[in-house]
C-alpha cells in the first residue's frame, strides 16, 4: 500500500490543531480502504474493532428493527469521524454503516483511541463535539418524526441532504450521492410510493427535478416552506 499523504488530514476538524509530525504519526497507523456503493462497512451490534474517518464519498447510518424494517438515522460526509464507539465506552457499534456512494475511509484499531485522545487533546474535543451535534440532530429527527406530517418530513429530509452534500449546478442544488425513493422513505418512515408521488408533484410544481437515484432541488425556498420550518 502506498504511503498516505499528510495533506489528507490537514484542515479536517478532528486534526486541525495538529502539526505535520503528529499527522504523520497518526497516518502511519491508519489503514485506507475503498468501499463500493452499497457495501456495508460495519454492522449494528458487531464488535467495535476500529474507528473510522470518511475521506471521500457518503455513508448511510442505518438501524434495523427485529422485524426487518430499517430507517436511515443520518448521513456521514467526507471529513467526519464515524464508528467512534470507543468514545462512548461502547464495545459494539450502535448502528450499521453503508456506503451510499463509492467511498474511501481511513480506520484505526480502537486500541489506539486512548492514545489518540491522550496525546492530542484537540482530537478528543472535536470528536465529542461531533457526537454532540449528532445527538442534537437525531433528537430533532425524532421530534419531527413524532409531530410532523409525511410531506413535511420528506421535505426536511431532502433539504437536509441538500444542505449536507449539495453542490450548486445551473439548475439548483444537487444531492451529491445516489438516493432512491426507498432511501428517502427509510429516512422518513413512509413508503416509497408516497415519496414517489410527492417528488412527482414537486417536480410538476418546479420545486425539484429528479431522475433515478438523483435529485436536484431547483427551488429550495419553496421546499423550506413545505418543510414547515419557522423563520
Pattern 59-78, a copy of itself, x by CB under 8 A: ----xxxxx-xxx-x-----
Q: Judged by CB under 7 A, which of 39, 150, 219, 222 binds DNA?
A: 150
How far does the chain reach from its first CA to its final CA, in angstroms?
A: 51
Q: What radius of gyration do the chain's Cα atoms show?
A: 19
24 binds a copy of itself (CB under 8 A): no
Q: Taking CB within 5 to 8 Å according to partner kind, which of a copy of itself, DNA, none is near residue 144?
A: a copy of itself
Q: Judged by CB under 7 A, which of 200, 206, 225, 229 binds DNA?
A: 200
CA distance 180 to 64: 18
CA distance 180 to 144: 21
228 binds DNA (CB under 7 A): no
CB of residue 134 vs a copy of itself: minimum separation in angstroms?
8
C-alpha cell belonging to residue 120: 492530542
CB of residue 181 vs DNA: minimum separation in angstroms?
4
C-alpha cell belonging to residue 51: 474507528
Could you tell me which stretch among 56-64, 88-96, 118-126, 191-199 binds DNA (CB under 7 A)?
191-199
Nearest to 155 by CA among 187, 193, 191: 187
39 binds DNA (CB under 7 A): no
Q: Judged by CB under 7 A, which of 212, 221, 230, 231 binds DNA?
A: 212
196 binds DNA (CB under 7 A): yes
Which residues lie below 8 Å from residue 11, measured CB to CB, with a gap of 6+?
none
How far does CA 42 lie from the centroid of its chain? 14
Strand ranges for the chain from DSSP E: 31-35, 40-42, 50-56, 59-64, 70-76, 81-82, 96-99, 103-109, 167-168, 173-174, 208-211, 214-217
Q: Taking CB within 5 to 8 Å according to partner kind, which of a copy of itself, DNA, none is near residue 142?
A: a copy of itself
**Contact residues for DNA (CB under 7 A)?**
149-151, 180-182, 189-194, 196-197, 199-200, 210-213
Applying CB under 8 A, which residues contact a copy of itself? 63-67, 69-71, 73, 85, 87-90, 94-95, 125, 128-129, 131-132, 134-136, 138-148, 188-189, 228-230
Amino acid at each position: 500500500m502506498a504511503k498516505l499523504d499528510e495533506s489528507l488530514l490537514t484542515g479536517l476538524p478532528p486534526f486541525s490543531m495538529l502539526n505535520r509530525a503528529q499527522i504523520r504519526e497518526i497516518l502511519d497507523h491508519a489503514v485506507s480502504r475503498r468501499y463500493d456503493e452499497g457495501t456495508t462497512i460495519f454492522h449494528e451490534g458487531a464488535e467495535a474493532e476500529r474507528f473510522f474517518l470518511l475521506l471521500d464519498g457518503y455513508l448511510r447510518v442505518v438501524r434495523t428493527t427485529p422485524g426487518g424494517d430499517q430507517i436511515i438515522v443520518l448521513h456521514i460526509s467526507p471529513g467526519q469521524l464515524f464508528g467512534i464507539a470507543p468514545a462512548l465506552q461502547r464495545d459494539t457499534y450502535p448502528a450499521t454503516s453503508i456506503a451510499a456512494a463509492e467511498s474511501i475511509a481511513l480506520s484505526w484499531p480502537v486500541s489506539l483511541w486512548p492514545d489518540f485522545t491522550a496525546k492530542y487533546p484537540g482530537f478528543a474535543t472535536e470528536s465529542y463535539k461531533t457526537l454532540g451535534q449528532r445527538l442534537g440532530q437525531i433528537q430533532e429527527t425524532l421530534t419531527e418524526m413524532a409531530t410532523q406530517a409525511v410531506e413535511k418530513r420528506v421535505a426536511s429530509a431532502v433539504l437536509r441532504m441538500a444542505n449536507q452534500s449539495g453542490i450548486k449546478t445551473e439548475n439548483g442544488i444537487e444531492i451529491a450521492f445516489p438516493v432512491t425513493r426507498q432511501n428517502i422513505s427509510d429516512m422518513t418512515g413512509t413508503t416509497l410510493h408516497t415519496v414517489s408521488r410527492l417528488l412527482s408533484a414537486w417536480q410538476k410544481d418546479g420545486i425539484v427535478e429528479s431522475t433515478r437515484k438523483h435529485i436536484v432541488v431547483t427551488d429550495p425556498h419553496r421546499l423550506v416552506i413545505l418543510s414547515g420550518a419557522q423563520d
